[in-house]
């Protein structure tokens, strides 16, 4: 996948928005002020860091050694919950699954009320009960 395809896919998530809180890079994708993806779009440093559960993180690091590593930028206590994926020659379907997981991992941390609000606002039904 190229940069634009990854950006577009991240933006298909309900309530997702793009921001650059740390400067030009990474390009962050958030939902309800929580980051689920951080994209590094440069050819010489083409990678994405995604939120995950500790178990899923370990699974992907085992299956794709050297391609998927603990979140390189995170302090040690957060590293099990973030994976950095080096995107050159990485399987597209697996990347999409990992982005889905990242989004769902963040969404599940919100209260049910906030989860419903995100779904309703995005669908245009924010005024309905």
Residue, of 111 and 8, whose pLDDT is higher: 8
Q: Say how many C-beta atoms besides its own lie within 10 A of residue 37's C-beta.
A: 26
Instruction: Answer yes or no: is 67 within a domain.
Output: yes
For the stretch 8-17, pLDDT in tens is: 999 999 999 9
The whole-angstrom separation of Cα 100 and Cα 106 is 10
For the stretch 25-52, pLDDT in tens is: 999 999 999 999 999 999 898 999 999 9
Strands (E) across 1-129 are located at 16-19, 27-31, 34-42, 45-51, 68-70, 82-86
Instruction: Answer yes or no: is 85 within a domain.
Output: yes
Which residues lie across from 32 on neighbouring strands? none
For the stretch 68-82, pLDDT in tens is: 998 877 666 677 789
pTM for this model (two decimals) = 0.88
Domain count, the chain: 1
DSSP state of 80: G
Torsion of CA 66, 4, 38, 45, to 10 degrees: 40
36: CATH = 3.90.1150.30
Residue 96: which domain range? Answer: 3-120
**What pLDDT score was predicted for residue 120?**
79
**What pLDDT score was predicted for residue 73?**
74
Q: Say how many C-beta atoms besides its own lie within 10 A of residue 114's C-beta.
A: 14
**pLDDT cut 70: percent of the chain above it:** 91
Instruction: Answer yes or no: is 107 within a domain.
Output: yes
Backbone angles phi and psi of 100, in degrees to 5: -60, -45
The answer to whether the bond into 69 is cis (omega within 30° of 0) is no
């Amino acid at each position: 996948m190229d940069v634009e395809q990854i950006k577009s896919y991240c933006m298909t998530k309900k309530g997702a928005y793009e921001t650059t809180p740390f400067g030009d890079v990474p390009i962050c994708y958030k939902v309800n002020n929580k980051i689920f993806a951080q994209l590094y779009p440069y050819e010489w440093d083409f990678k994405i860091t995604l939120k995950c559960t500790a178990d899923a993180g370990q699974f992907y690091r085992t299956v794709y050694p050297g391609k998927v590593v603990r979140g390189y930028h995170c302090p040690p206590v957060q590293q099990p919950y973030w994976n950095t994926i080096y995107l050159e020659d990485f399987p597209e379907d697996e990347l999409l699954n990992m982005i889905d997981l990242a989004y769902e991992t963040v969404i599940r941390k919100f209260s049910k009320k906030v989860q419903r609000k995100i779904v309703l606002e995005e669908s245009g039904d924010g005024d309905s009960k």
